[in-house]
Chain A
């Protein structure tokens, strides 16, 4: 059933994302063609770049909004009548939303990078850029004797955890808002602020903890030793991962045991 839920979630959302991805890629291709035939646009390069950057930022924001709106409308809103009477467990419903939203987030990042590559390639800069990145990367690997596979894995994992954490925190806030009989949207906002506040408190506590562990107050924050930075990042990933699991459990509890669709 989980597979089917994810399938329909992709079907519902691809109607929004695929056209936008098409526009982003199309926009890059048009610029390539203009460059190729040396057509001078009436717009300056500056305007084109600005439009392009805005388009990408807009798409990223939209990815977040759609992810949030899908959960709100499809589980806690009118479409919830259909979704919550399907013979599926609530954790699967929530997971299908999370999985799809995080996938589109990655999709948007990949499309953005592809569009950028098309532009660089058209100006004959792709190879240079890659070589520069490679050089920088290799020197970093050598200098700190890191394993590059491990580092890439870690970066990807970090993005996944951050994205899950972000979406689940909003899901959780909306689920808490749903517990109220009226003003559920406002209650959700307040719940989000509440969760944010709790996270801040936890961060401060953890920071104070570090100060004791490393000694010397908050000097560790300016420590140039990358291993210290890695420890901090690792711990933060664990912290966010744990919080994401808690958000997931709370959301699931409310959808399963405290649902009240008006």
Chain B
């Protein structure tokens, strides 16, 4: 699903947009352990996390993930925003907690696959 559309469906605010051609989200990984997030990164994975510090900055800088979604309406550090913009990683902020954010992401992505399946 296109990132713009996904953000809209879950009601998240787009802090920095996705880089052109890197906005196709196929799965989501949520977690707060850095090793897990690193291991889950792929070119189609959105990472949802509480981590909002220098670890997050490196995650964006090093892993080339298409999008990271912060939760609980967290305000990202200006340095993280700049890094995300430079890296071409979309930075979303969801007003919901991690549980509800994931629920909404799951619903949005599965309903799209179901729509796509019959054709």
Query: Do these two chains interact?
Result: no
Name B residues whose Cβ lies closer than 8 Å to a Cβ of A: none
